[in-house]
Amino acid sequence: MPSATVDFTVQKYESTHAIPGTVWNTLRGYARDANVLLPNLEKINALERSSGRFVPGQLWITCTTVHPNAPPSVDFVLGCTDGALGPYPIFIVSTLSHQISFDALRCRLRSMAYTLHLSVPSSRVYSIFAQETITRLFATNWTEFTSIPLAPSPEYYAARITYCTKATYKDRHMPLPGLGVELRLATPADAHQVADLCHGFAAESEPFTLTEEGALREANLLFHSGQVWVHVMHDLDQGFQIASIVAVTRSSDRVATITKVYTSPRWRKMGCAERLTRSVVAHLLQFKESVVLYVANANPAAAKVYSRVGFVGLDEESQSKPVAGVDRWLELGFDRKYVRLGHW
């Protein structure tokens, strides 16, 4: 049964078949922000359709405003789902404008947090990732309901969401004299080198580190799914070496999301990440309206690289003139003495 207040309802769903069309349409209408939810939702929906059974262990919670003289509008969609390498954080997508009152925002998130508290073990919620204000409010409510505090260093990931379209994309030729360069999808022959770079990326993404075995598993998942591109250096003395990788693991009809960019320390300062990212974005924009990624607030060098490719809202001018659709997102983690860490 929905839980109701004066003007909004909160509802939970354990099967994609039960999710109303209004929710699907809303997520598709906000496909950039919904990149953390929509692709996985569509994947689970396809599995349920092909198998005729619902996929266990998945949960979605929606918050919908009820209007007296207009159709209901979906304010939030929360996902508590699993990925190939483990449970995902709690993802929350919002459609509300920044003009919503603080009290209205707080009431909605509190009701959603309480519904989640009644629906899953407290240990399942190891972190929350959403727009910064939403994350902080939801985390406060979650601690109130469960008595689980935030981790001693709770800010797992503080970033801006940004996007590139055909209109903003910036082409650029970046030769490397004396070295052969190849930009392509990874193949099974690349598995161990890709795994090394996945391991390096995870080592810099505390607490979501990977063992060497886990990194190899991730690499195999990526190239079997056609989700990882490589920047290959051809060296006469050492043969070919993979200098950089770009992974695109979330994709919906109109939006693709770059989820991993990493360059081997040996090949840094040579433009590898920019060269490969630009190539991947150009390829994706043949089929998608936009390409999305998150850039860490603490990584201004990466922001400059992505800005040169055509991702918006990352240059110095944008700091004083905000760009629509470029918002601050935050992942807050809970004390790992009380939760089971997943991976994403």
Give the tens place of pLDDT for each residue, 264-305: 999 999 999 999 999 999 999 999 999 999 999 999 999 999
Give the pLDDT confidence of 209-226 residue by residue, as tens digits: 999 999 999 999 999 999
In 3-state terms, what secondary structure has residue 264?
A: coil
Instruction: Please report, to the nearest 10 degrees, the dihedral formed by the alpha carbons of residues 111, 37, 338, 156 taken in order.
Output: -110
Over range 113-135, report the average pLDDT.
99
Listed in sequence order, the residues at least 6 apart from 234 whose beta carbon sits closer than 8 Å to its beta carbon are: 179, 180, 181, 182, 240
User: Does residue 5 carry a pLDDT above 70?
Assistant: no
Give the pLDDT confidence of 195-213 residue by residue, as tens digits: 999 999 999 999 999 999 9
User: Does residue 105 carry a pLDDT above 60?
Assistant: yes
DSSP 227-245: -EEEEEEEETTTEEEEEEE
Percent above pLDDT 70 for the chain = 96
Q: Which domains does the chain have, with CATH numbers?
A: 3-159+329-334 (3.40.630), 180-311 (3.40.630.30)
Q: What is the pLDDT of residue 234?
A: 87
Rounded to the nearest integer, the mean pLDDT of the chain is: 95
pTM for the full predicted model: 0.94
